[in-house]
């Protein structure tokens, strides 16, 4: 029997909402349709402001939750056809503070409002249980990478340059691990905007014109971060790191 789900992603790069309609037939997964809805500039700037301490944060964050839920609902409305029969929406919200070393992560989201607007069950809060279990708040990424790229004899490492870069280690035998490993599009986009006035470096054209500053590169590579054992802070993937969905459902 085929089941349809909607996945929503709004990464730390703050470019907008990616929506995907995915169907599952047993072990087979197929992306049926996608839609992208850019963030309005005013919303983007308001979300960026919440990355840093400021005045009236509690009220502003809840206003942003509602605005995001309505934007998510708009993306879903554009994504779906009347004939679609979606069982659930997966939506983790917009990350504005991520401090796993202090035991918390904060995503702005109002899954209850999203469920009311779409009349579809919403699954949310993917990160908190993983943080509580000692991870870095991304329990679904290693699971997806293992399902999509795992190999019985070839050792693979998957690098994802999102707003913050992360990698997943997929050995043929042994533990699957995943962890954040450095800056990504969030800082690269900010650097590009500061120096070129463009929101991002399309196709890497601007970066391709640059030259390596060897002295600076050596200084960066000497940072103590690169001497750490990755498995000291990497999370080992196992089913217990995936949130109990019974705690995360908001029925529409």
User: What CA–CA distance (Å, rounded) separates 235 from 179?
Assistant: 6
Residue 227 is predicted with a pLDDT of 84
Q: Does residue 15 contact residue 98 with C-beta atoms inside 8 Å?
A: no
User: Residue 211 belongs to a domain with what CATH number?
Assistant: 3.30.420.40
Same domain, 217 and 131: no
Same domain, 175 and 231: yes
* Alpha helices, H only, 119-224: 128-132, 140-149, 185-196, 205-208, 214-221
User: What CA–CA distance (Å, rounded) separates 123 from 110?
Assistant: 11
Range of the domain at 50: 2-135+243-250
Residue 6: name the closest of 71, 69, 70, 90 by CA. 90
pLDDT truncated to tens, each residue of the chain (252 aa)?
678 999 999 877 788 999 999 998 766 788 999 999 999 999 999 998 998 888 999 999 999 999 999 999 999 999 999 999 999 999 999 999 888 889 999 999 999 999 999 999 999 998 888 889 887 787 788 888 888 889 999 999 999 888 888 889 999 988 888 887 888 888 888 889 899 998 889 899 998 998 999 999 999 899 988 888 776 655 544 433 333 332 333 333
Same domain, 34 and 128: yes
Residue 80 is predicted with a pLDDT of 96
Same domain, 190 and 76: no
- Give the chain's domain count: 2
Residue 99 is predicted with a pLDDT of 87
Residue 243 is predicted with a pLDDT of 35
Same domain, 107 and 124: yes
Same domain, 82 and 28: yes
């Amino acid at each position: 029997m085929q089941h349809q789900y909607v996945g929503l992603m709004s990464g730390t790069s703050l470019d907008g909402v990616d929506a995907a309609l995915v169907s599952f037939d047993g072990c087979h997964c197929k992306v049926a349709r996608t839609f992208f809805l850019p963030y309005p500039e005013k919303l983007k700037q308001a979300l960026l402001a919440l990355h840093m301490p400021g005045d009236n944060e509690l009220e502003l964050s809840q206003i942003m939750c509602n605005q995001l839920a309505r934007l998510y609902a708009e993306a879903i409305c554009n994504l779906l056809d009347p004939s679609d029969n979606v069982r659930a929406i997966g939506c983790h919200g917009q990350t504005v503070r991520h401090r796993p070393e202090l035991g918390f992560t904060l995503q702005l989201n109002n899954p209850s409002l999203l469920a009311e607007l779409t009349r579809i069950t919403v699954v949310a809060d993917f990160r908190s249980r993983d943080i509580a279990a000692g991870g870095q708040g991304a329990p679904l990424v290693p699971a997806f990478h293992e399902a999509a790229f795992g190999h019985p004899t070839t050792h693979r490492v998957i690098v994802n340059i999102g707003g913050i870069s992360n990698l997943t280690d997929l050995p043929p035998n042994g533990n699957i691990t995943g962890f954040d490993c450095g800056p990504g599009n969030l800082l690269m986009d900010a650097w590009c905007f500061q120096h070129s006035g463009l929101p991002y470096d399309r196709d890497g054209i601007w970066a391709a014109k640059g030259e390596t500053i060897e002295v600076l590169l050596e200084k960066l590579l000497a940072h103590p971060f690169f001497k750490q054992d990755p498995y000291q802070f990497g999370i080992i993937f196992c089913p217990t790191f995936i949130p109990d969905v019974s705690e995360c459902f908001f029925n529409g």
